[in-house]
Each structure stands twice: as C-alpha cells, then as structure tokens.
C-alpha cells in the first residue's frame, strides 16, 4: 500500500474538544479527507450531527474507542452504526462488536495485545501473533498505539509488523514530528495514522488548516 492517510482527530487528551464542529467547519477545505473523533466529550446528538456534517463534506469518518470491556465496546459500536460512521478504530476484538460493524458495513480495526491498563508492552513476536489471529477473524485491519510502545523500540515494532502481517494497520496517536511522518511513510502495510493533540499543540504550524496541509504535503513528497 503506497498511499498513507492522515486521519484528523478532533480530540485532545483523549476527549473530543468542545468546539469540534466549529473547528471542522473552519478546516474542512484543507487537504485531509479522513476525519474522526471520540465518543467521549460528545452527546449522541452531537456525534450524529458531526458525522453527518463530515460525510456531507465528502469525508471518510472514524470513531476511536479506547475502552476494552465488552459492554462499553459494544455500546460504542452500536452508536457508530446508529450515526453512520465509516470506520471504527479501537476496542479489543469482540465477536459481538465485529457483528455490529459487519451488519452496519463499518470497517473494524481493533487494538491488539493491550494490557489491562491499555498499555502496549507485549514482545513484538506476541503482537504479531495476535495481529495474525485477528486477521483470521475477518477484520478490516488492526490498530495500535505504536509510538507509545513500552516493550521495545517502536520503530522495530512498526517495521516488523508491516512486513509480517497481511492486512492494513493504523497507528493511533503520538505522531508529532516530521521525523515520525517520514518513518510511517516507509511502512508498506500502513493505511493511516491519527493526529489530534499534536495539531492542538501546534506541532506543525499555527492554524488547524495550515497544519493539515503541511502534513498532507509531507505525505505526498
């Protein structure tokens, strides 16, 4: 896979920002076509409104779920189906969540190999094993907090994963420099990566639109 997709997240510190709608409207003409947010910080009505607005603007929509208990993950998937989300990133894999996503035609990319505190510490071999097991279940891809990996070097994990799995994967969070963007550009199986907090912290420039366009330009170089 050659094209890498920036997924703009309207979240900061794992919560959707209060003015997410206004920020989207101000930046919707920037180059990114993939946009998302988290359920935390929104009501169902706000979530529906924002998803509809994004889709009406020609965007592919994403919800990221950090929960790992089945009840919360299932409710999150049901909300995604209710609101017409295109892609669910996160949850641990649960058959019940997968069924909701399949029935609603939602792409499903669960987290793999997380510890109970949602940290990624497993040896690389175990992460790859779990990714392959997840692939056998018919998921769209896998999602991981690669740059928050505590069990070794994130770069080694990413290169190994990209060379040894069959499906796409997505990186969630902590891409906050051009050096990391250059790294992810080299990963054959990478579908996309999220940036939220780094934009709110102005790691790539001043305005939201300017930062999006700079990252997209870097991806196209």
Q: What per-residue string of b and e applies to 96-132 under the rule 16 or more CB within 10 Å gives b?
A: ebbebbeebebbbbbbbbbeeeeebebebeebbebbe
- What is the overall mean pLDDT for the chain? 96
The percent helix, strand, coil of the chain (3-state, each to 5) is 45, 20, 35
Whole-number pLDDT of residue 3 = 87
**pLDDT tens figures, 43-96:** 999 999 999 999 999 999 999 999 999 999 999 999 999 999 999 999 999 999
Q: Read off the pLDDT band of 105 (50, 70, 90).
A: very high
Per-residue pLDDT, averaged over 190-200, amounts to 97
- Rounded CA-CA distance 190/168 in Å is 6
pLDDT tens figures, 126-153: 999 999 999 999 999 999 999 999 999 9
Stretch 189-193: mean pLDDT: 96
pTM of the shown model = 0.96
CB atoms within 10 A of CB 159: 16
| Tokens found for residue 148 | 């928050």
What average pLDDT score do residues 186-206 get?
A: 96
Sorting pLDDT into bands at 50, 70 and 90, what band is 173?
confident
The pLDDT value given to residue 2: 73
């Amino acid at each position: 896979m050659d094209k890498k997709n920036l997924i703009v997240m309207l979240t900061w510190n794992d919560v959707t920002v209060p003015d997410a709608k206004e920020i989207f409207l101000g930046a919707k003409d920037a180059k990114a076509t993939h946009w998302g947010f988290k359920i935390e910080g929104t009501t169902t009505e706000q979530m529906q409104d924002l998803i509809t607005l994004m889709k009406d603007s020609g965007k592919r929509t994403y919800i990221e779920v950090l929960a790992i208990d089945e009840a919360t993950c299932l409710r999150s998937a049901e909300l995604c189906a209710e609101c017409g989300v295109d892609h669910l990133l996160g949850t641990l894999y649960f058959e019940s969540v997968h069924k909701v996503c399949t029935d609603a035609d939602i792409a499903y990319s669960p987290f793999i190999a997380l510890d109970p505190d949602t940290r990624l510490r497993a040896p690389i071999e175990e992460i790859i094993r779990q990714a392959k097991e997840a692939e056998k279940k018919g998921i769209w891809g896998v999602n991981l907090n690669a740059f928050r990996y505590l069990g070794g070097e994130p770069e080694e994990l990413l290169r190994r994963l990209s060379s040894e799995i069959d499906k796409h994967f997505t990186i969630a969070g902590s891409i906050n420099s051009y050096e990391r963007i250059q790294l992810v550009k080299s990963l054959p199986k990478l579908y996309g990566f999220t940036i939220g907090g780094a934009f709110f912290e102005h790691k790539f420039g001043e305005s939201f639109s300017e930062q999006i366009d700079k990252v997209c330009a870097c991806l196209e170089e």
